Amino acid sequence: MSCAGNSSETCGGPFRLDLYHYGGTPPTSTATSSSASPTPTVTPNWTFLGCYTDNASGRALPHGEAVPGGINYMTNEACQASCLAAGYSIAGTEYAGECCKFFPAIK
């Protein structure tokens, strides 16, 4: 789906999570990646890990993170910046306007 804050970017989709990792070596995952989304724009030092299937009853990234300005300003870059500012090294966008995080960043 197009990001609410930038229609030229994808921000996951229904049950789809565009996943990113900040710096260092990305963690290994047993999740299955999908090619449903094209490679989105990535902020420096962030790596796009792929688009993954997510489950509403057991979220892969269970913690939501607000972006400045709210859902209408959601972009991959805004989500990545918000997650990093909160101390997280994993960020994901889903359903055009959701920003999720998991795993504390190593500082």
Residue 5 per-residue DSSP state: T
pLDDT band at 14 (very low <50, low <70, confident <90, very high): confident
Residue 68 is predicted with a pLDDT of 86
CA angle 87, 20, 71 (to 5 degrees): 75
Q: Does residue 105 register a pLDDT over 80?
A: no
**Counts for the chain of helices (H) and strands (E), in that order:** 1, 8
Q: Which of 10-19, 26-35, 51-60 has the highest mean pLDDT?
A: 10-19
Residue 37 is predicted with a pLDDT of 44
The full set of domain ranges for the chain reads 2-104
Q: Does residue 40 register a pLDDT over 80?
A: no
The pTM is what?
0.75
